[in-house]
Amino acid sequence: MLFRRYPNLIALTVIGLLLASVPLVIESNYILTIMVLIGQFTMLTVGLSLLMGYAGQISLGQATFFGIGAYTMGILATRFSLSPWLSLLAGVLLSAAVAYPVGMLIFRLRGHYLAMATLGMNVILFLILTQEVEWTGGPSGFRGVPDLTLGSLTLTTDRQYYYVMWFFALVVIALSLNIVNSRVGRAMRALHSSEVAAETIGVDTNQFKLKVFTLSAAYSGLAGGLHAAYLGFMSPSSFSINVSIELVVMAVVGGLASVWGALFGAGAVLVIEEWLRDAVKVVIPSASGEYEIIAFGFLLMLIMIFMPEGLVTGVVNALRERTLKR
Amino acid sequence: MSLQAQILQFLLAGITVGSIYALIALGFVTIYNVTGIINFAQGEFAVYGAFVAITVFQEMRLLSGSVQIDLGWPLPLAALAGVVVTTLIGMLLYRLGIQTARHASVLSMIIITIGAAFALRGVALLVWGTDPFRLPVFSQGTPFKIFGAILTRQSVWVIAVTAVLLLILYVIFNRTLLGQALRACADNPGAARLMGINPQRMGLVAFAISTAVTAIAGIVIVPATFMTYDRGLTLSLKGFVAAIMGGMSSPVGAVVGGLLLGVLEAFGAGLLSSGYRDAISFVVLFIVLAVQLGGLFRGRPAAAEQAGL
């Protein structure tokens, strides 16, 4: 009864408790690091999943906002000695502030143009990060981002950042679930099934797409700032187009238009990636490089050909159909 | 070098690079016109064309050194091999990837071709590794001097090949029955089918022509610049921007767009900042899109909307 009325609230509580107990059980720092990364990529993927699933739009440049968040945080906290939390907030705001006008321009386009325009945005950011050595540290990266503090406590360990990262990841999930189940969410669903129909019943489609895009940028900026604080170091390669496309893989695996799917997608892809890296080394000992992109490429093609709504959503829908038939 | 000579030098360099963008843009336009798909894997075909040609031409170590081959084919034969193998890959992509998903939405189609680009790049990394490769120039000899500016013989090759390919494509599309069938599919697939044209087969033909053209682009540029496994994406992006500048559906427009983009890049990199060379095309893209949306080319966006862009 209670679950029926508040399914998301209960799921959120259960998953939150499970996640909170992970560091108590797991000793391995390696696993903990991967878990922190999953939290970070969940934030990034949720925004993209909303954008792709609800607004029916694709961004191939989400890593741009991830990068803006990270470098804003780093530069403000070191060069301008701003407090780390304020720098983090500034990164989030700046990401959103960049996304809004860009979105205004490109959401009047559709499909292909948007994909290319967001890719282009990512290329430009990457060039800035590698060229403006004085500010960004160039290709070799940016060092010395200060740690976040809680009162008098300075956060340094993986364990502490695990809790910080997942706290924010769950906040992002809760916020997104709320949006999906609100009037905005219904408008977004209408938008996805038919843009024309949505417009005729008075949904300002461009405005909604723009809002979702800006929100996804803010999420990415947040993930970026936390990334910078957690590692204390960042390099342009973490914000390249490859990362943007990896995020698309995560969203597609998790299923479009699914907030929980994003969590699953981020986790599944990161685990597969780690596993593939080891597997490739067993087969070809001298191999080095991002061979996992072969698997991701084929995975993207297969999922989109056979389950255009994404893997998790596709499987769920198929199961639901089967039970309904009975 | 005098200022005039320097400007001429930028212009020549721009036209050479622009020819490559033009060829890739031609590839985009050919596929887009017949199937309505933007193939994000387009640039990878230029990489494959070049790599396959190099592999049969010189001594090569493949798969991280576990395979060593030395076929030593003559250059023309090697180039032909590059084009043929790449074209087969393109046709395979159409059959397995695009055709099985032909009812997919624009969003799904974009993701499918991106997946293909990723898979192709990954396989190139696996087979050829991260080393840069190049071919020898097609004809030896001192470069030409024009009013103090230098034009290499390979640049002449690049420009000539572009011109010849444009001519061939023009003849195919406008003077043959096959070309009429291809254009019919672009105009109205439904009516084309009623006339006994198979749009699926025409899609395959379009993919074959497009990959062949792009593979040739990769082969003619590789004596002038090194090719690495990860160049495909940049080439795709430049080709796409060139195609958009040319209006997306016109082959001549694509070539003009490519040349213009190459020249803009050469001047931008030469006069402003070489580090931002790759950003120039996107600044151009944003300007073109903004101008189109602003309504200077009012006819065009409407046509693009109809085409489902």
Q: Which two tokens stand for residue A254?
A: 């998790």
* B233 vs A contacts (CB less than 8 Å): 241
pLDDT digits (tens, 9 = 90+) for A220-249: 999 999 999 999 999 999 999 889 999 999
- State the count of interchain CB pairs (< 8 A) between A and B: 142
Lowest mean pLDDT among A279-283, B96-100, B305-309: B305-309
Q: What part of A 38-57 touches B (C-beta under 8 Å)?
A: 52, 56-57
Closest CA to A231 of A161, A152, A139: A161
pTM for this prediction: 0.88
> Has residue A319 got a pLDDT over 80?
yes
Report yes or no: A173 and A50 within 8 Å, Cβ to Cβ: no
Specify burial of residue A252 (Cβ count, 10 A radius: 0-12, 13-18, 19+).
Answer: buried
- pLDDT at residue number A2: 59
Beta-carbon contacts of residue B9 (< 8 Å; ≥ 6 apart): B1, B149, B150
Phi, psi of A150 (to 5 degrees): -125, 105
Strand pairing of B67-70 and B59-62? antiparallel
Report yes or no: A46 and A172 within 8 Å, Cβ to Cβ: yes
How much of chain B, in percent, has pLDDT values that exceed 70?
Answer: 94
Optimal mutation site among B29, B99, B107, B273, interface A, most CBs of chain A within 10 A? B107
> Has residue B302 got a pLDDT over 50?
no
- Do B276 and A297 make contact, defined as CB atoms within 8 angstroms? no
Residue A310 is classified by DSSP as -
- How far apart CA A82 and CA A228 sit, in angstroms, is 15
**Letter for the amino acid at A165?**
M
DSSP-assigned letters across all residues of B5-73 = HHHHHHHHHHHHHHHHHHHHHHHHHHHHHHH----TTHHHHHHHHHHHHHHHHSEEEETTTTEEEE---
Q: Which two tokens stand for residue B231?
A: 């160049």
pLDDT digits (tens, 9 = 90+) for A258-299: 888 999 999 999 998 888 888 877 777 666 667 888 888 999
- How far apart CA B178 and CA B190 sit, in angstroms, is 17
Q: Which residue has the tokens 């803006």?
A: A68
Specify burial of residue A75 (Cβ count, 10 A radius: 0-12, 13-18, 19+).
Answer: buried
* B115 vs A contacts (CB less than 8 Å): 296-301, 304
pLDDT digits (tens, 9 = 90+) for A179-223: 888 877 777 777 766 777 777 766 677 788 888 899 999 999 999
Mean confidence (pLDDT) of chain B: 87
The neighbour count for residue B43, using CB atoms within 10 Å, is 28
Count how many domains chain A has.
Answer: 1
> Has residue B235 got a pLDDT over 60?
yes
State which residues form the domain around A188: 2-325
- pLDDT at residue number B304: 43
- For residues B45-49, give the mean pLDDT: 97
**Letter for the amino acid at A31?**
I
User: Of all helices (H) and strands (E), which one includes residue B171?
Assistant: helix B153-175
In chain A, which ranges are continuous DSSP H helix?
2-5, 7-25, 29-53, 62-79, 84-106, 111-131, 133-136, 158-180, 183-193, 195-200, 205-231, 241-254, 259-283, 292-306, 311-325
- Residue B103: HSE in the Cβ half-sphere, 13 Å Cα cutoff: 2
Beta-carbon contacts of residue B182 (< 8 Å; ≥ 6 apart): B33, B34, B172, B173, B202, B205, B206
> Has residue A132 got a pLDDT over 50?
yes
- pLDDT at residue number B300: 42
Residue A156 — very low, low, confident or very high, per pLDDT cuts 50/70/90? confident
- Do A294 and B108 make contact, defined as CB atoms within 8 angstroms? no
pLDDT digits (tens, 9 = 90+) for B182-231: 888 877 878 888 888 888 889 999 999 999 999 999 999 999 889 999 89
Phi, psi of A201 (to 5 degrees): -90, 15
Residue A4 — very low, low, confident or very high, per pLDDT cuts 50/70/90? low
- pLDDT at residue number A307: 86
State which residues form the domain around B207: 3-306
Lowest mean pLDDT among A205-209, B98-102, B139-143, B300-304: B300-304
User: Where is pLDDT greater, at B269 or B309?
Assistant: B269
Report yes or no: B239 and B21 within 8 Å, Cβ to Cβ: yes
Specify burial of residue A24 (Cβ count, 10 A radius: 0-12, 13-18, 19+).
Answer: exposed
Residue B143 is classified by DSSP as P
Domain with residue B242: its CATH number is 1.10.3470
- Do A241 and B233 make contact, defined as CB atoms within 8 angstroms? yes
Q: Which two tokens stand for residue A86?
A: 């304020």
B150: helix, coil or strand? strand
> Has residue B305 got a pLDDT over 70?
no
Mean confidence (pLDDT) of chain A: 87
- How far apart CA B102 and CA A238 sit, in angstroms, is 34
CA of A59 vs chain B CAs: smallest distance (Å): 10
The neighbour count for residue B274, using CB atoms within 10 Å, is 10
Q: Which two tokens stand for residue B59?
A: 């001594």
- Do A297 and B116 make contact, defined as CB atoms within 8 angstroms? yes
Q: Between the CA atoms of B259, B34, B287 and A44, what dihedral angle is there, to the nearest 10 degrees?
A: -120
Angstrom distances, CA of residue A109 to CA of A57, A58, A104, B121, B233: 10, 12, 10, 28, 22
- How far apart CA A73 and CA A80 sit, in angstroms, is 10
Specify burial of residue B193 (Cβ count, 10 A radius: 0-12, 13-18, 19+).
Answer: middle
The sign of the dihedral angle between the CA atoms of B219, A241, A297, A288 is positive
* A124 vs B contacts (CB less than 8 Å): 279, 282-283
Q: Which two tokens stand for residue A201?
A: 């019943």
Lowest mean pLDDT among A184-193, B41-50, B241-250, B273-282: A184-193
> Has residue A19 got a pLDDT over 80?
yes
User: Where is pLDDT greater, at B129 or B291?
Assistant: B129
* B241 vs A contacts (CB less than 8 Å): 116, 120
Residues listed for chain A: 326
Residue B133 is classified by DSSP as B
> Has residue A78 got a pLDDT over 70?
yes
- pLDDT at residue number A3: 61
> Has residue B306 got a pLDDT over 60?
no
Domain with residue A122: its CATH number is 1.10.3470
CA of B13 vs chain A CAs: smallest distance (Å): 22
Nearest CB partner across the interface for A297, out of B107, B119, B293: B119
- Residue B22: HSE in the Cβ half-sphere, 13 Å Cα cutoff: 28
Count how many domains chain B has.
Answer: 1
Report yes or no: A112 and B273 within 8 Å, Cβ to Cβ: no
pLDDT digits (tens, 9 = 90+) for B172-189: 988 899 988 888 887 787
Task: Report the complex ipTM.
Answer: 0.84
How much of chain B, in percent, has pLDDT values that exceed 90?
Answer: 48
